[in-house]
Chains A and B, each alone.
Chain A
């Protein structure tokens, strides 16, 4: 569905240099710290910025050459961009039904009502959570082949985040062939949703793994300096210096459970992945 090959995009000192793929019907997570290059990658996919070199193909076409018809098959929710704050939900319903052939005005309004978005209030008067919900509902208002979500839950409380994730799960149940790219720096958003995860740091992909394997096989060891010096490092991907010694992120938890029974090793999480791989030293 989406293929990025050797993409290079330079912004002053920052260079995005990645390759990645989003298969049909899969949910792909894009994680990384703020400023890692997640939004830049998404903007490239949506044809909003130009690339310096490489190839970016979306639904079989160059991302920069997507037509209005192609865009009808894409649903996008951007982190800090949406409809004008002067509009109301009922205006948005009219606009969407004029834009997409399969958007039903009434069901969009019903869905907005279910998620507590009043029809007659200007968007500028909405809370951060309400604006985020509207952005996601807008992206889900029509049947898409590709959904692109940039930090859909950023800045929201747990309840609003869960509501947004529920919306996405409902959509996925009804549209099994839809491919989704979702960027986030909140691990719990992605652990139960994504089939695979790309971790990017300073503009580069530093890990790509299936979520199930990441959660089942990867692990984190917290060891003191003395233990660290004698530790077998063949499955350690990254280490991070801590007050007590080192946190080590390993790609084979069972190997260390069997070979180093005295060491406490916990299951890996996406938070650990970001903290240690993006914030530590790669081996």
Chain B
């Protein structure tokens, strides 16, 4: 697995122009956007970069050769998930450092912890997204996976929109009042003592989803012919 990790990291860092573009984008975003928005952006970018290594492996029929190297199929999948976790952690660290530095430069003070907390919630969201993207990429390949993800987003969007419209028609006040109650619960009940409870609980839940996704991916890769 160490060799595969070295391969992926070397593959990612071999693209200097792309990294230069990422750095420029992140700097522009961190200076132009308010609060800790950049943290969400770097976390999202890191997750997508991690997943993109699957398509590099599949390009030019590379998978058969990779599976002749000292690894088994489970080891290959494990390395991909570890790489994505590593990328997410680095993305979050870089995002937090960037937003703190730009806030100090722009305002002379650090970013409020509340903003950071809101932004850090993106980490579990991205972990869940990676958990969906990885098995689809491994099963269908990068090209088809893009189409599958677009269809999946469309279906999720349509279901959510329909549910909201339906809720508003049936019980016009419930949706709004429920959201207000949740916000009050988090702000007042958990607010001071359990400030980081929500991000931590969501991260643990997303890691559980990721584990299920890993098991599914192992099954997909084990059953696939290369």
Residues of B within 8 Å of A80, CB to CB, are: 61
> Is A71's CB under 8 angstroms from B226's CB?
no
- A171 at the A/B interface (Cβ < 8 Å)? no
With A68-B75, A81-B63, A86-B15 as contacts: A98 and B68 at CB distance below 8 Å? no
Complex Cα distance, B70 from A4, in Å, reads 22
User: Closest residue of chain B to A150, judged by CB?
Assistant: B64
CB < 8 Å: which of B10, B59, B226 contacts A95? B10
> Is A74's CB under 8 angstroms from B7's CB?
no
User: Closest residue of chain A to B7, judged by CB?
Assistant: A95
Complex Cα distance, B63 from A49, in Å, reads 12
With A84-B56, A84-B57, A86-B11 as contacts: A98 and B3 at CB distance below 8 Å? yes
Contact count band on A: 20 to 34
Complex Cα distance, B53 from A86, in Å, reads 12
- B72 at the A/B interface (Cβ < 8 Å)? yes
Task: Output the least CB separation between A139 and chain B (Å).
Answer: 9
> Is B3's CB under 8 angstroms from A96's CB?
yes
With A50-B225, A71-B69 as contacts: A82 and B56 at CB distance below 8 Å? no
Within 8 A of B (CB), among A187-246: none
- A69 at the A/B interface (Cβ < 8 Å)? yes
With A49-B226, A68-B75, A98-B6 as contacts: A83 and B65 at CB distance below 8 Å? yes
Complex Cα distance, B71 from A69, in Å, reads 8
CB < 8 Å: which of B7, B59, B72 contacts A68? B72
- B154 at the A/B interface (Cβ < 8 Å)? no
Residues of A within 8 Å of B11, CB to CB, are: 84, 86-87, 91
Chain A proximity mask over B1-36: 1 for CB below 8 Å, otherwise 0: 111011100110011000000000000000000000
Residues of A within 8 Å of B69, CB to CB, are: 71, 99
With A86-B15, A91-B10, A99-B3 as contacts: A72 and B70 at CB distance below 8 Å? yes
- A85 at the A/B interface (Cβ < 8 Å)? yes
Interface Cβ pair total, 8 Å cutoff: 89
Complex Cα distance, B2 from A226, in Å, reads 69
Residues of B within 8 Å of A122, CB to CB, are: 14
- A88 at the A/B interface (Cβ < 8 Å)? yes
- A1 at the A/B interface (Cβ < 8 Å)? no
- B157 at the A/B interface (Cβ < 8 Å)? no
Residues of A within 8 Å of B104, CB to CB, are: none
Residues of B within 8 Å of A43, CB to CB, are: 64, 226
What are 25 A-B interface contacts by the 8 Å CB criterion? A43-B226, A46-B68, A50-B225, A67-B72, A69-B70, A71-B69, A71-B71, A74-B68, A76-B68, A78-B68, A81-B64, A82-B60, A82-B65, A84-B57, A84-B60, A84-B62, A85-B60, A86-B14, A91-B11, A98-B2, A98-B3, A98-B5, A99-B3, A99-B70, A135-B65
In the A-B complex, the 6 residue pairs with the closest CB atoms? A99-B3, A76-B68, A81-B65, A98-B3, A91-B10, A49-B225
Q: Which residue numbers of B lie inside 8 Å of A, CB to CB?
A: 1-3, 5-7, 10-11, 14-15, 56-57, 59-65, 67-72, 75, 225-226
Q: Which residue numbers of A lie inside 8 Å of B, CB to CB?
A: 43, 46-50, 66-69, 71-72, 74, 76, 78, 80-88, 91, 94-96, 98-100, 122, 135, 148
